[in-house]
Amino acid sequence: DVKVTQSSRYLVKRTGEKVFLECVQDMDHENMFWYRQDPGLGLRLIYFSYDVKMKEKGDIPEGYSVSREKKERFSLILESASTNQTSMYLCASRTPSGDNQPQHFGDGTRLSIL
């Protein structure tokens, strides 16, 4: 069974801080994704990575960056946290073999910026 682990379930940070959200998957998946989830908006793609050291902007990349130095780990970075980045953040991974493979999700990190 695929396991996607997000390092924190709840996180509270202050405005202006640099924040790191970590995600690790154990199935050797090439593709990894970061979403934010807000009420009434569903999930919106922030960044994704097709493979190690590769990254592509999603629909809402502003204020965020990512790092993928190892295949199993995909980090989301809030360069200077702001209150409008308070949200639930979800990481996902998938294998691209067979282009219609589903994404597997972590349990999410609920981030509050004060």
Partner 1 sequence: AQSVTQLDSQVPVFEEAPVELRCNYSSSVSVYLFWYVQYPNQGLQLLLKYLSGSTLVKGINGFEAEFNKSQTSFHLRKPSVHISDTAEYFCAVTSLLSDYKLSFGAGTTVTVRA
Residues near partner 1, by CB under 8 A: 4, 9, 33, 40-45, 48, 58, 90, 92, 96, 99-100, 102-108
Compare residues 90 and 113 and give the one whose CB is closer to partner 1. 90
In one letter, which amino acid is 79?
A: E
- In the bound state with partner 1, the residue whose beta carbon lies nearer, of 16 and 96, is 96
DSSP notation for 41-57: TEEEEEEEESSTT--EE
In angstroms, the CA 41 to CA 37 distance is 7
What minimum distance in Å lies between the beta carbon of 90 and partner 1?
6
